């Protein structure tokens, strides 16, 4: 969507929690230059509404109780020409989630524990066509850049994700069309980077460091 130079910033709230929607509305509607135009309780509904072109910024949750995931919805929305900006607003800050959201074309990534002023500032930043990252998220990305040594590669995250789903090396090798030797090789690297020595503790450490979605 082309940034409009006049009128309030028109918002769409997409979250499956009524309480959160009410909270966002309460926090954002008090800003004079914002107008909460609509709410969506599902990702599918958000995609449909966003296509009407009646919004400048979409505030999108990642986890919906059922149905489409927020990242999918973001991709669907931003795929359109003249699409609104999508701001991710979620509770979690996992590497997997952040990377998925950025790949889907999100214009920002905020955390739900953010203070209202930070929220408002991020919405204005996104509306102006610039990227808005929560400090904690920005910090995580900086960390990832600063110390790539301990950052897991995409392939390693892929393997670790399957480990977290309970698959054996054998099953992972079949799923990813690899030999068991390769899976073990990846695991050895993962253990070294996370400072652990077993698959279960790797999953625990990765979950604690928010490297894996959960």
Question: Cα–chain-centroid distance for residue 150?
Answer: 21
Minimum separation from the CB atom of position 151 to a second copy (A): 20
Q: Does 207 bind DNA (CB under 7 A)?
A: no
Q: Which residue has the tokens 């926090």?
A: 27
Minimum separation from the CB atom of position 147 to DNA (A): 11
Q: Does 150 bind DNA (CB under 7 A)?
A: no
- Contact with a second copy (CB under 8 A) among 14, 58, 167, 183: 167
DSSP E strands: which ranges in the chain?
9-14, 34-40, 57-60, 85-90, 108-111, 132-133
Question: Cα–chain-centroid distance for residue 127?
Answer: 18
**Sequence-separated (6 or more) residues with CB below 8 Å from residue 99:** none
The item of a second copy, DNA, none sharing an interface with residue 191, based on CB under 5 to 8 Å by kind, is: DNA
The item of a second copy, DNA, none sharing an interface with residue 20, based on CB under 5 to 8 Å by kind, is: a second copy
Site for a second copy in 90-109 (CB under 8 A): 91
Q: Is 140 helix (H, G, I), strand (E, B) or coil?
A: helix
Q: Does 145 bind DNA (CB under 7 A)?
A: no
Using alpha carbons only, what angle is made at residue 66 by residues 62 and 68, rounded to the nearest 5 degrees? 55
The item of a second copy, DNA, none sharing an interface with residue 207, based on CB under 5 to 8 Å by kind, is: a second copy
**Sequence-separated (6 or more) residues with CB below 8 Å from residue 52:** none
- Contact with a second copy (CB under 8 A) among 69, 151, 196, 209: 196
Site for a second copy in 7-26 (CB under 8 A): 16-26
Q: Is 88 helix (H, G, I), strand (E, B) or coil?
A: strand
- Contact with DNA (CB under 7 A) among 4, 91, 197, 214: 197
Q: Report how far residue 163's alpha carbon sits from residue 160's, in angstroms, rounded to the nearest whole number.
A: 5
What backbone torsions phi and psi does residue 111 show, to the nearest 5 degrees?
A: -110, 145
Describe the crossing of helices 154-164 and 180-194 by its angle, rounded to 10 degrees.
100
Minimum separation from the CB atom of position 19 to a second copy (A): 4
Tell me which residues touch a second copy (CB under 8 A): 16-27, 65, 91, 112-116, 119, 163-168, 196, 198-205, 207, 214
Tell me which residues touch DNA (CB under 7 A): 148, 153-156, 168-170, 173, 176, 178-182, 184-188, 191, 197-199
């Amino acid at each position: 969507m082309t940034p409009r130079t006049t009128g309030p910033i028109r918002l769409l709230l997409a979250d499956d929690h009524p309480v959160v929607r009410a909270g966002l509305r309460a926090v954002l509607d008090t800003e004079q230059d914002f107008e909460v135009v609509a709410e969506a309780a599902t990702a599918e509904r958000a995609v449909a509404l966003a296509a009407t072109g009646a919004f400048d910024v979409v505030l999108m949750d990642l986890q919906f109780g059922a149905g489409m995931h927020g990242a999918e919805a973001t991709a669907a929305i931003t795929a359109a020409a003249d699409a609104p900006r999508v701001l991710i607003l979620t509770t979690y800050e996992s590497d997997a989630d952040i990377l998925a959201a950025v790949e889907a074309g999100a214009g920002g990534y905020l955390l739900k524990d953010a203070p209202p002023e930070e929220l408002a500032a991020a919405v204005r930043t996104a509306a102006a066509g610039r990227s808005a990252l929560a400090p904690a998220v920005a910090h995580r990305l900086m960390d990832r850049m600063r110390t790539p040594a301990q950052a897991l590669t995409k392939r390693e995250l892929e393997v670790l994700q399957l480990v977290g789903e309970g698959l054996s090396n054998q099953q992972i090798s079949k799923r990813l069309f690899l030999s068991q030797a390769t899976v073990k090789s990846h695991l050895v690297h993962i253990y070294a980077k996370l400072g652990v020595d077993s698959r279960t503790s790797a999953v625990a450490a990765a979950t604690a460091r928010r490297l894996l979605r959960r």
